[in-house]
Structure 1
């Protein structure tokens, strides 16, 4: 059946050799609608980001751009502002009817750690063509914090699509009528489900966080470890707007609480490039069950990873900044997000990545 492949179908792809791994798949690596990808043992510091191009492999292009290589097996620091390539432990031999799409995991996006997947003969980041056979590589560029990374860590994820999986606006309206996709307020459906920024919290005046420019290293293996105030400045507002500083990175939250029903997944996309001098970055995929009541959610806010560009920009409460593109699942996953699996962000509001102690700095 056409649709995004569910966890049990991904496991069948592993068993059948369409997904290959240099070492056995780790517990928890298969998510409800995606597969987490693991870093390999070697890393390459490169002069610039690049794509392989239609006629060449990533390994061939490395010879043109590598500055030095180093070992990740015991962990190594990836420095802010530098670009690295790491071969992944997973490779693919997909059937012709399956394509793939990759994205940074939620915690990685919230660290402003630009992470993208490359393929041989690739002309786009994070897109794997139908029937692709070959290795996968991760490009990593820390933008706000230097990080300590190690072999086997999972920074990226990939979904597999069979055919056209996207819901039309009419189908999305019908789904919303059947099971509400947002909490209070109307659903703004136009090329997906629109969502807006929350700059008028019900309690207090904390509306977000801004990354500090000069901080220590973040060890990606540490959870609930780092004090918020050592890495982030609080962003407060009583006026319903904030002014974004050029070059700064912000964590904000959507006004809407959203839900993803079991037979669907979703991908976050920017709304319009011309609405202002900023971009909403996104971790990418929302698994079936995210925010859904049957999986322990009561609607979950979307965390927004925002970077301002050329000029200071006034961001207003309720301004539409992105949209969710809902997709059909080929099957309902055996386990939903938040139900029986380790889901860090079910029922979330304004929340930094799992590496920080959220009881501090508030």
Structure 2
């Protein structure tokens, strides 16, 4: 392991490149420069998907290949594109593999556009006991479990559904650290709500009109993940309007909403959306969890970017109110300042965003309430 990856914090782009150079990150095909983000690496699908009976973790004593032998139903060749059906579970070997030194861990998350399609995608490892977590010292392949929830999709080899970050030591900022960071360079519009991270709330009183979100339609056509700016939103989404500042979430339904606060991630930090907490309400917010350095940051072309919320209601209908705290961002220290920032050197579909569907859909022209 090179000295450039020894600092405490989340590894930056040039440190990830050093891991690729020394073979700590390797792949079946050449790792492309475009896969490297300011604080993360995009992971690519391999050529084969395995339809399995159920979601699983390998467990401490087993490999994913051994568990596939137990649960595999059939193999699917993704070459040229293949349909992954809504409600089914698939496991796909990724092109990338890693060798992590002791003291370095990794964490994965769905990319923004994938979370906004309600694609549940989670990385699993040999001997793994947690989704989306790679333990220190791990040496081996990576796999992704894919479960389309709202829409069937067409996938093919090389597509990037997930991203991975690398952490040296304890990277999380305390509340005291977060207040100091906000004083130095504001991380949120308005007065920050800081308690085990930065709290954020939902916007159900837009400055113009009454459109507050979108709800996935239950019966739609497939979405080809290779098609960008292609699909008519009206064929896949129902608009959600509110005149009174609240909406009722239906059990099992999937919604795209937006945060009231505009968020900024300075170059010295990254952030991850914290897991859903049951005391917040009968819903889960945000399946895609990483925010790269530069997101919403002024010097990277932003003036704060609002967070798009991927919301699924659980057992009971639930009233969601404007300004209700729905989640929190946990900020982390970078091991070094990235050479490229999100929204500046790294082009982005979501810098300065408000309420926005994934990049697979054509721009929305809101209808009257």
Unaligned ranges ≥5, structure 1: none
**Structure 1 partner of 2:295:** 290
**Structure 1 partner of 2:358:** 353
Instruction: Say which is worse superposed, 73-82 or 336-345, in terms of deviation.
Output: 336-345
CA distance in 2, matches of 1:257, 1:204: 19
Matched, 1:94 2:100: yes
CA contact (8 A) 1:227 1:360 kept: no
Encode CA deviations 1:98-120: one digit per residue, 9 max, x unaligned: 11000000000000000000000
For residues 34-53 of structure 1, the aligned pairs below 5 Å read 34-53=40-59
CA distance in 1, matches of 2:293, 2:254: 29
CA distance in 2, matches of 1:35, 1:270: 21
Unaligned ranges ≥5, structure 2: 1-6
**Structure 2 partner of 1:265:** 270
Encode CA deviations 1:138-191: one digit per residue, 9 max, x unaligned: 0000000000000000000000000000000000000001111111x2100000
CA contact (8 A) 2:11 2:166 kept: yes
**Structure 1 partner of 2:4:** none
CA distance in 2, matches of 1:359, 1:51: 39
RMSD: 0.8
For residues 91-240 of structure 1, the aligned pairs below 5 Å read 91-183=97-189, 185-240=190-245
Find the residue that maps to 1:9 and give its secondary structure.
helix
Matched, 1:10 2:16: yes
**How big is the shift at 1:281?**
2.7
Q: Structure 1 residues 322 and 56 mapped into 2: Cα distance closer, same or farther (>3 Å)?
A: same
Q: Under a length normalisation based on structure 1, what TM-score does the superposition of the two structures give?
A: 0.98
Moved over 3 A (4+): 359-362
CA distance in 2, matches of 1:37, 1:209: 28
CA distance in 1, matches of 2:158, 2:308: 26
**How big is the shift at 1:342?**
2.2
CA contact (8 A) 1:199 1:241 kept: yes
CA contact (8 A) 1:51 1:118 kept: yes
**How big is the shift at 1:271?**
5.4
Matched, 1:83 2:89: yes
Find the residue that maps to 1:274 and give its secondary structure.
helix
Q: Under a length normalisation based on structure 2, what TM-score does the superposition of the two structures give?
A: 0.97
CA distance in 2, matches of 1:343, 1:168: 29
CA distance in 2, matches of 1:218, 1:246: 24
CA distance in 1, matches of 2:57, 2:286: 20
CA distance in 1, matches of 2:82, 2:104: 35
CA distance in 1, matches of 2:298, 2:282: 36
**Structure 2 partner of 1:301:** 306
CA distance in 1, matches of 2:142, 2:301: 34
Q: How many residues align?
A: 361
**How big is the shift at 1:19?**
0.3
**Structure 1 partner of 2:340:** 335
CA contact (8 A) 2:211 2:366 kept: no
CA distance in 1, matches of 2:92, 2:138: 19
CA distance in 2, matches of 1:73, 1:157: 22
Find the residue that maps to 1:356 and give its secondary structure.
coil
Q: Structure 1 residues 125 and 49 mapped into 2: Cα distance closer, same or farther (>3 Å)?
A: same
